[in-house]
Amino acid sequence: MSKQSLLSIIVPCYNEEESLPLFYAEITRVTAEMQQKYPELTFEYLFIDDGSKDHTLEGLRKLVKQDKRVRYLSFSRNFGKEAGIYAGLSHAKGDYCVVMDADLQHPPKFLPEMYEAVKSGEYDCATTRRVSRKGESKIRSWFARLFYKIMNKISQTEIVDGAQDFRFMTRQMVDAVLSMSEYNRFSKGIFSWVGFRVKYLEYENVERVAGTTAWSFWGLFRYSIEGIIGFSTAPLGISVLLGLVSCLIAVIVIIGTIIKKFLFGEPVDGYPTLICSLYFLGGLQLFCTGILGTYLSKTYLEVKHRPIYLVRETDENADTFTQTPASKESDKPED
Ligand code: UDP
Ligand code: MG
């Protein structure tokens, strides 16, 4: 067949020294099979070392030496998976790009099916959707479901429950994602916001092959707030509504008090009523100011135009880092 197409496989890695060799073995096995089936395909593997504190970077340097298709970027510190995805997509050269995790929770065996879907021209993107959350704690799954429910009620951007960052995309869609250069990145929202035709492949959740998840419960909570703030302004509307409702209640209470006093001559309730309304209104005001403040803080970070990530080392200048005796891990700048 005709034209050659390059598929960039983008893999953000944070402390993945144990998973990396397993991932590399599996991905090269799958891509070798794909190469047989689709001779028009060539591959590049682009690993993003997100400031790992273990030996992930050494592992990547080794891979680059043994396989010319491997490239890597190493960040100056941990910038988060979202920054890793953005950096990977910005540096990928492929006609198609796929973003996947290093822990084999995004099984490479889906790649041929994804490629078929996108190649047919019917879809611009293929992704997986977990139909179960096997291996995840009950409470975590419950919160995750609640998040998707709330999110889809209050946001115009649809976030599919169980959809993942395992995305196989055409160059056109990659460019669309890159055009969204916001600092507060919430990929699930971004992928959905850009639109295009997406094919969902369903599968049962797989557990991590090695290592541990980098996400704590609070990390996920903060991430969901990021999603809500980034893709919905409903909380601002809710705070306006709460303000209006409390005004209405106040008017009713005032009228009631006047009637009681002047029509029936009953004494006006004193201290307890006062304390209750004081706490209620104080809390409500703080809550609404908090919502406003959260939007403001995100805007503040956005207008600073800070870079989304900083690269300390790439495969192109790896020699500079491996050969100098001063290349100790401890000389990384910390802020
Ligand atoms: N990851 C990253 N930077 C981070 C945290 C995670 O690049 O700060 C990578 C990680 O190496 C993995 C992927 O993002 O390839 C998913 O992370 P993890 O498995 O910890 O998340 P989970 O699968 O539990 O959602
Ligand atoms: Mg994982």
Contact of 48 with 87, CB cutoff 8 Å: yes
Classified as helix, coil or strand, 201 is strand
- State the Cα–Cα distance between residues 54 and 274, nearest whole angstrom: 58
How many angstroms separate the alpha carbon of residue 100 from the centre of ligand 1?
10
Residue 172 has pLDDT above 50, yes or no: yes
Per-residue confidence (pLDDT) for residue 332, from 0 to 100 = 45
Collapse the DSSP code of 106 into the 3-class scheme (helix H, G, I; strand E, B; otherwise coil) and give the result: coil
C-alpha 131: how far from its chain's center? 19
Cα–ligand 2 centroid distance for 191 (angstroms): 19
User: 101 alpha carbon to ligand 1 midpoint, in Å?
Assistant: 7
Nearest CA among 13, 163, 191 for reference residue 88: 13
54 CB burial (10 A radius; 0-12, 13-18, 19+):
middle
47 or 120: whose pLDDT is higher? 47
Mind listing the pLDDT tens digit for each residue in 174-217? Answer: 999 999 988 988 888 899 999 899 999 888 877 777 777 777 88
pTM: 0.80
Q: Which fold has domain 5-231?
A: Spore Coat Polysaccharide Biosynthesis Protein SpsA; Chain A (3.90.550)
Q: Is the shortest distance between the CB of 217 and ligand 1 below 6 Å?
A: no
Q: Over the chain, what is the mean pLDDT? A: 86
CA 2–ligand 1 middle distance (angstroms): 37
Q: Is the shortest distance between the CB of 51 and ligand 1 below 6 Å?
A: no
pLDDT higher at 295 or 220 = 295
Instruction: Say if ligand 1 is within 6 A of residue 130 CB.
Output: no
pLDDT score, position 326: 47
Instruction: From the CA of 101, give the closest atom in ligand 1.
Output: 15
What pLDDT score does 323 carry?
58
3-class DSSP assignment, residue 168: strand
pLDDT above 50: residue 327: no
Q: What is the mean pLDDT of residues 159-173?
A: 89
Q: What is the predicted pLDDT for the residue at 147?
A: 86
Per-residue pLDDT tens for 69-127?
999 999 999 999 999 999 999 999 999 999 999 998 899 999 999 999 999 889 999 99
* CB of 101 shorter than 6 A to ligand 1: yes
